[in-house]
Each structure stands twice: as structure tokens, then as C-alpha cells.
Amino acid sequence: MENNSGIKKIALLTGGGDCPGLNAVIRAITKTAKNLYGWEVVGFRNGYKGLYEGDIVTLDEKSISGTLHRGGTILYSSNKTNLFKYPVEEDGKIVYKDYSDVGVKNIKDAGIDAVFIIGGDGTLTSARDFARKGVNIIAVPKTIDNDLASTDTTFGFTTAVDVATEALDRLHTTAQSHHRIMVLEVMGRYAGWIALHAGVGGGADAILIPEIPYDINIVAEKINKRKAAGKNFSIIVVGEGAKPKDGEVVVRDIVADSPDPIRLGGIGIKVASDLEQICGNEARATILGHLQRGGSPSATDRVLSTRYGVAAAELANSGKFGNMVTLTGDKMSYESLESVIGQKSKLVNPEGELAQAARAIGITFGDR
């Protein structure tokens, strides 16, 4: 395939939280850029911080060798740096200034023709803003939560589900041995995709997700019915954004200088404590946390990440800048960053096929 874009040099940047498959995307873009188009490839290290500091590293066959199966990102990341709202100290106070022109200048000074930005909402919002300033941007969506409305599936999601499912397998044996209620809290923020898929795949008795506020007494009723049938243990999966009816989400922390300051966490401990009081069984909570985001990506995510990377390079070669690569059905496509940013999150449909399948096999969502 010919170089039809006039591009000679591209840069890659990863921002926000790490995610299984990031290195596979970096590898795919780099390989496609070199094999098909003959482009020079570099990367900005540490996300937008590296763009601000001009921290550039060469990406070639040597640097990407052996990265397909590696978790994390070889370019590193920053989930706080926003060049459009950069914190600086003046007269003993922190004020925020727009230093995006520094990033634009560093791109131009390095002779970079296009920048590939891989990240989630905050990272891609800045990507859109750089596109508005005339930078040739190609975006690749990244989140294990699978909650982006513009694409059917995001890389990293199946790995997170696999990790959570394996955790449930392990919790089953200890729960059964000690007649305990075992609660597994998983990531996902305000979307219950990880909890739903892992709960069905891991044989949970109850799945509590943000989209379906739960009644703890209904969950307890499920546990007591199992006890009456001679099953003296139960497995509960809880999405971190789940909340009781007439209740609120559990906030673990607030990080004031982050683009996404609210940190959820702790609902699993609350659910375990409530169920222990009602049902009488010992209850234990496991918060899976960053284990879902670390380690090697699944084979499915390696393939999907490769497809995203190749499609991103093809998009740039076609000159279709200011767009984000998407997966629609079984085909790679794209959508304008202007339309992507600000979209409502893709949430679990409580009446959807998978949720109904879960109910059909006896899983409760704590609502009825």
C-alpha cells in the first residue's frame, strides 16, 4: 500500500490509566507505519507530560520486539497532566494555565506530521482540543470498562473479565470450604459490563451493578434459599459503582488535581458486612482492583488491539484526521472526535439479552 498522505513522521502517546493491549496497539501502529508506508515513528513518554517536556523516544522493530504479550505501556502514562489546564505555582498558590501551545510547538519542532493518541475520556478530550488547534490527530479508545458508546468493544475488557472470572473460580473453593459468603468487587465505574460478564462466566449467585440499584434484603433472600437447599456458601459480584436503592455509591477517595477526581471503591466491603449481619454466614470481601488492568492481555485483546492499531494507521494514511478508530459489528470504522467527546456512557441494559440470560439461570441482581 502506498503512502498517500504525505506523512513522513508520526508520534504515539498513551494517556490515562494503563490497560491490557496498549503495547499491542503501539506495536501494530509502528509495524504498519513502517511496513506499509515507510514512516518514521516516535513516541512521547509519560503521556501529555512527555509532550510538554518534549520527551521523545524512537519506536522501531527493536523497541517493540516482544511487546505483544506485555501489559502496561512501554511509553508510560500520566493520568493527571492536562496541557490545557496545567497547574503552576504563583505567589504560593496553584493556578491553572493553558500550555497547549508548548505541546504544539514540540510537535512541529520534532517534524511530526501526525500524532496518534491512545486513551480514555480525559485523554481524548485533550486530543480533540489539539485537533482544534490544527494538529493532525488520530485517536484510539482505551478502557477496560467497555463503556464507550461510539465503539462496540474496547481492548482490555476481555482481559479484565478473564481476570475477574478466574478470581471467582478461586473464591468458589474457599467459600465452599468455609461456608462463607464471598463478595468480589470489580472495576467498571458507572458501567456494569465487567461485573455482568464475569458474574455469568464465574457462576455468581448475585450480580450487583450500577444500572440496577439493589435491595440487600433481596440478595439475602437468595442466600437463605441456597442455605435451605443445602448450599451453605454464596458468591456475589459487585461492580464498584453499584449502589443500594435510595442509597449512594461508595467513594474511596477524591483526587483534586485529576481530570477524573472521584475514585470509587469499598462497596464490596459494605455488601459483605450487610449480608453477614442479615444471613449469619461469615462474609469476606475481595477488591480485585488493579489486577484487572495489569499483566498480559488475553488472546482476544491482542487481536483486537492489533486491529485498532492497523486501522488507526490506515486512517492517517487516508488523511482522515480528527477521528477516533471504532469497532462496529465485525468491522473497523471511525467517528469524529467532535461527536465522540461528551457522549453518554454505554451502560448495561437491565432488560438486555445477557442480563435476562443471567436471571434465567437463577442469578439475582437484587432488584426482584
Residues annotated as part of the active site: 145
> What is the C-alpha to C-alpha distance for residues 234 and 221, in angstroms, rounded to an integer?
12
Q: Which three cell numbers stand for residue 254?
A: 477524591
| Secondary structure, 3-state, 222-252 | HHHHHHHCCCCCEEEEEECCCCECCCCCCEE
Residue 97 C-alpha cell reads as 494555565
Cell of 16: 490515562
